Structure 1
């Protein structure tokens, strides 16, 4: 492939005007969990399928993490979005169905958590289709939100997601407000609810023998999350969480997440919403601006 390195904005999506949030809220918080289970360890490294200790990191989701996270959301009276690979749903249907029974949103997170690859479009699109099929089989519904496995995306995939009925994505890291993608086929793309990388719990709470990294303790992470949330709140943006039951479902990190979410709730003027709710609000504002 020949790469076009011409200087230009690489994301052609228009910027969003200053937003108003529902109920007089100053900012929004989007609680998103990636229910990767074992796919985090085998999707891009299939040889790990025969390394049971390695994959046991992901096995924690179904054995402990999902139930603990669903319980925490119930304790706090919150609804979240659970981005679930199709493989996870098929491998652990009982654990995954507890998410739906608790009233949370199900999002698309690929099939085997393979990183989307522009050089392998057919394989990338197959991952989307297989993911839809598996989620439909287990949950009986077709998701409207998507988070890219391994956090990658490209113009052809954005267009394919829109054609497949995906209304919003939550993968990009280039804004603090939602915006509308400009798809490569000339049609409107999905709404993007961008991520702040500081809120990805994998960065602070996951390590392994194959890729050892330091782990960060409670005070370091909690202070970072509170400071970043407070600044985003002051700017009127959306704080998007990228959490994993195999990380934040661990005992200390469960308590850390609970303390952070309690801090957010105590603020009072924060709208805590699912991805679909934020998308509905964004699209209502779009219609209002279009009618003005």
Structure 2
């Protein structure tokens, strides 16, 4: 059977926003902020050249803070024809917001997006892939067609369900009979999920941060390249159709040695029959039109 493989580069332009949101209220480190400036400028320019050289349209997810703080640079992305999606206002962790805060951030982000692009956004990525139990319902209410934050599957699109707040809660202060229960039923939304994966993300292994113990920063990009290729090769062997999303950040993937890694990876992907590079918005359209199978996900009782 002929393979159909939809590959998407997903670029989070966190720039300085990710450093300003330090989670604990501490002032941002000026050196860290400078890394964000690099990402918005040199890193973005290098990623744009990489995609132009390889005839790829990517999906760029921009916090409103990045759009408003680096309008000339972000306009280069828009004017090159790439997709632009939502990524919060200042990379705030949605899981820590109240419902009112989450809705206000979404409304403000959409307003900035419309002023920048002239149209309504199609997709959203939760900053740090941290969603709240109500995020999918909020996306649906605001007319957002797809999400790229969930991980019910690693290579197949699907319609995503809401996430009840009491999905998993073991309260040791109570009698076990009160918490020895299955997950409640999840309700499907009309939001399409194009899944992400921490296993194909440049930030944790290749960007050092003294404030985040989950980052490394000194791993050889050639080792990461092998891991990413192996995942793709497994999917290619096991599935007739699948999606392969590559999550990256200009302040990481804009670095010289990581640029070379992407060049080699793209050549590997292009060497396989049936591979098409698309934006995530295009993948969403293909799934909704029934042109790529995807899966049905259920959870809870």
TM-score range, shorter chain: 0.7 to 0.9
User: How big is the alpha-carbon RMSD for the aligned residues of Structure 1 and Structure 2?
Assistant: 2.4
1:5 alignment partner in structure 2 = none
Corresponding position of 2:255: 250
Aligned to 1:261: 266
In the other structure, the counterpart of 1:164 is 142
1:285 is paired with a residue whose SS is coil
- Could you tell me how far apart the structure 2 residues matched to 1:165 and 1:252 are? 39
> Is 2:219 the counterpart of 1:216?
yes
**Alignment partner, residue 271 of structure 1:** 276
SS at match of 1:88: helix
Aligned length: 267
1:32 corresponds in structure 2 to: 10
**Runs of 4+ that moved beyond 4 A:** 46-50, 183-187
When residues 138 and 154 of structure 1 are mapped into structure 2, their CA distance, relative to the original with a 3 A threshold, is same
Please, which runs of 5 or more residues in structure 2 have no aligned partner?
164-185, 294-301
> Retained in 1: the 8 A contact 2:204–2:217?
no
Decide which moves more: 182-191 or 128-137: 182-191
Change (3 A) 1:177 1:193: same
* 1:66 aligns to 2:35 (yes or no): no
CA distance in 1, matches of 2:27, 2:69: 13
In structure 2, the CA distance between the partners of 1:265 and 1:190, relative to structure 1 (3 Å rule), is: same
Q: Does 1:114 align with 2:119?
A: no
Cα deviation, 1:132-175, whole Å, max 9, x if unaligned, reads: 11122223232101111110223421111011111000111220
Matching of residue 81 in structure 1 with residue 59 in structure 2: yes
Matched, 1:153 2:131: yes
Quick check: 208-217 or 59-68, which moved more?
A: 208-217
Shift of 1:63: 2.2
